[in-house]
């Protein structure tokens, strides 16, 4: 590990307090570029590539996302223990951010190199490339990236700020750019088997972003937490942490919030194309409206978040946000025929999602409290659970949507302009994925944050 002692690999952040370059470069710009690549390569557009370009279906492909995410959970434990045992002059997590950033583009482009061969060979390639990306490359990056925040500082207020930047970089910026720009790129590239080479060339160019993104995040972050108490094996950490009620509730809250995001994100393309529209072309326009207008409050709300948190506290801010989320989802669920009202509902729901950015700060606070009570710090466990929850909920959403597509008679478009009336049962499912499941998650989150607030008091 002496290679990490080289001066060229030292962090550019030298201050003992969190600095602006650290916030804007290490926690915003670098991760934003990385998650932009990840969002475009491996999100809903990968599902669209499988269904609308390759035309792959069948039970094996349907269960692949959830089975893969179970493998992710297993490897997550392995990677967590590997990072826990890492001791370098650059910290525990930062070196693996850089390593995974080099591996990520290689794994990403394999997703779109599906050979034009027999069905069996295509399925084998998809199974191989999907697991190389999610189980290995993205898993390692996600875990090491998640561990940076709780290891950045013990100052809770500074962590709250970093938490906002971290969540913006993981969701708002890459999500907004990918869902605004990508639909029109996909419309230009097209769907159907003839469009596969166009998809490959574009994704090849996009995957290269991972290298400079990881380098920026690595250079402009700093681990300030000393390593005492971190030597416990991951399963011992897990057993110890389950003794604390507030820890369990924070983990449950994270699960609800990840589920809240996974279903609408995975269903967005199909909801826009076939519930609001009737073709890939028309769906691109609706995706643009939903994300530019429907999510417009997120940008302004995020800038106002810190002053609001300082005045009212993060618990009250999150509770009010969840109420907005409940109201917004109710409107979206019952207004598919009224686009202006639907957009209003999306805007209200967007207000409800902003305080969710504080949840990772709650996890860091829970790690601090467990350390105070037990004498051991569980950064690797917290990052591991957060990553496992993210992957399992995403896999559950993708598998459920692929299952509905297979079972409810999805009509595969032969071109972007082809007008199709999908089965009503399928359209109802896309609507429930877009607003019904998030509605339930917001209700559960409101109940949980109220209980966490009582424990905190």
CATH number of the domain where residue 86 is located: 1.20.1250.20
Model confidence at 322: pLDDT above 70: yes
Domain count, the chain: 1
pLDDT beyond 90 at 280: no
pLDDT digits (tens, 9 = 90+) for 371-402: 777 777 777 777 778 778 888 888 888 889 88
In a 3-state reduction of DSSP, which class is residue 318?
Answer: helix
Residue 1 belongs to a domain: no
Whether residue 12 is contained in a domain is answered as no
In a domain, 5, yes or no: no
- Residue 309 has φ and ψ, to the nearest 5°, of -65, -40
Least confident range of 219-223, 225-229, 400-404: 225-229
pLDDT the model gives residue 457 = 63
pLDDT of residue 440: 96
Kindly state the percentage of the chain with pLDDT values over 90: 34
How many Å apart are CA 396 and CA 64, to the nearest integer? Answer: 10
- Structure tokens belonging to residue 333: 């669920």
Q: Give the model's pLDDT for residue 211.
A: 93
Does pLDDT of 354 surpass 80? yes
The arithmetic mean of pLDDT across residues 10-19, rounded, is 90
Could you tell me if residue 15 is inside a domain?
no
**CA separation for the pair 96, 150 (Å, rounded):** 16
Residue 4 included in any domain: no
In a domain, 287, yes or no: yes
Q: Using the predicted structure, report yes or no on whether residue 295 has a pLDDT greater than 50.
A: yes
> Which phi-psi region, left, alpha or beta, contains residue 183 (left: φ > 0; alpha: ψ -120 to 50)?
alpha
pLDDT digits (tens, 9 = 90+) for 111-160: 999 998 888 898 889 989 999 998 999 989 988 998 898 888 888 788 87
Is residue 9 a part of any domain in this protein? no
pLDDT of residue 445: 94
Position 394 scores a pLDDT of 83
**What would the 3-class secondary structure string for 211-279 be?**
HHHHHHHHHCCCCCCCCCCCCCCHHHHHHHHCCCHHHHHHHHHHHHHHHHHHHHHHHHHHHHHHHHCCC
**Residue 339 pLDDT greater than 90, yes or no:** yes
pTM over 0.85: no
Asked whether the beta carbons of 75 and 67 are under 8 A apart, the reply is no
Q: What is the CA radius of gyration of the chain?
A: 21
| Contact present, 220 and 405 (Cβ < 8 Å) | no
User: Which residue range forms the structural domain that includes residue 76?
Assistant: 20-224+232-456
Closest by Cα among 41, 35, 45, 40 to 270: 45
Q: How far is CA 257 from the centre of its chain?
A: 11
Q: What separation in angstroms does the CA of 404 have from each of 309, 411, 429, 441?
A: 41, 12, 8, 21
| pLDDT-based confidence at residue 229 (cuts at 50, 70, 90) | very low
pLDDT in tens, 409-432: 889 888 888 999 999 999 999 999
Would residue 189 count as lying in a domain?
A: yes
> Across residues 264-291, what is the average pLDDT?
90
Provide the residue count of the chain.
457
Per-residue pLDDT of 27-41, as tens digits, reads 999 999 998 888 888
Residue 194 CB burial class (10 angstroms; 0-12, 13-18, ≥19):
exposed
The alpha carbon dihedral of 242, 142, 437, 66 has a sign of: negative
Q: If you search the block for the tokens 């409107």, which residue do you land on? A: 331
In angstroms, the CA 282 to CA 417 distance is 8
């Amino acid at each position: 590990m002496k290679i990490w002692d080289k001066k060229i690999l030292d962090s550019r952040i030298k201050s003992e307090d969190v600095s602006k370059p650290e916030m804007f470069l290490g926690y915003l710009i670098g991760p934003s570029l990385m998650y932009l690549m990840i969002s475009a390569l491996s999100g809903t557009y990968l599902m669209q590539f499988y269904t609308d370009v390759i035309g792959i279906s069948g039970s094996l492909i349907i269960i692949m996302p959830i089975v893969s995410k179970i493998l992710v959970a297993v490897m997550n434990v392995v990677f967590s223990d590997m990072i826990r045992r890492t001791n370098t002059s650059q910290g525990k997590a930062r070196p693996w951010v850089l390593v995974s950033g080099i591996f990520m583009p290689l794994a990403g482009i394999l997703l779109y190199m599906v050979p034009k061969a027999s069905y069996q060979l295509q399925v084998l390639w998809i199974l191989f490339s999907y697991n190389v990306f999610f189980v290995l490359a993205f898993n390692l990056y996600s875990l090491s990236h998640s561990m940076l925040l709780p290891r950045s500082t013990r100052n809770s207020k500074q962590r709250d700020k970093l938490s906002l930047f971290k969540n913006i970089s993981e969701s708002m910026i890459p999500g907004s750019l990918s869902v605004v720009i990508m639909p029109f790129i996909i419309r230009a590239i097209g769907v159907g088997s003839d469009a596969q080479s166009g998809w490959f060339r574009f994704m090849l160019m996009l995957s290269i972003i991972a290298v400079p993104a990881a380098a920026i995040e690595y250079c402009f972050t700093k681990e300030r937490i000393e390593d005492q108490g971190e030597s416990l094996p991951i399963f011992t950490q897990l057993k110890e942490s389950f003794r604390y009620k507030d820890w369990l509730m924070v983990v449950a809250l994270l699960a609800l919030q990840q589920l809240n995001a996974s279903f609408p994100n995975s269903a967005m393309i199909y909801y826009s194309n076939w519930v609001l529209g009737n073709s890939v072309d028309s769906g691109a326009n609706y995706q643009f409206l939903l994300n530019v207008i429907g999510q417009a409050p997120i940008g302004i709300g995020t800038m106002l978040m810190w002053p609001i948190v300082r005045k009212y506290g993060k618990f009250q801010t999150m509770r009010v946000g969840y109420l907005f989320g409940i109201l917004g989802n109710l409107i979206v669920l019952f207004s598919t025929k009224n686009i202006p009202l639907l957009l209003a509902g999306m805007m209200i729901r967007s207000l409800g999602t902003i305080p969710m950015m504080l949840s990772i700060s709650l996890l860091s606070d829970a790690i601090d409290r467990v350390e105070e009570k037990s004498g051991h710090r569980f950064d690797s466990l917290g990052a591991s659970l957060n990553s496992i929850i993210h992957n399992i909920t995403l896999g559950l959403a993708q598998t459920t949507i692929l299952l509905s597509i297979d079972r409810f008679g999805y009509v595969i478009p032969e071109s972007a302009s082809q007008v199709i009336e999908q089965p009503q049962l399928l359209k109802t499912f896309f609507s429930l994925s877009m607003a019904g499941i998030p509605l339930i998650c917001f209700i559960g989150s409101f109940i949980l944050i109220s209980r966490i607030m009582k424990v905190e008091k």
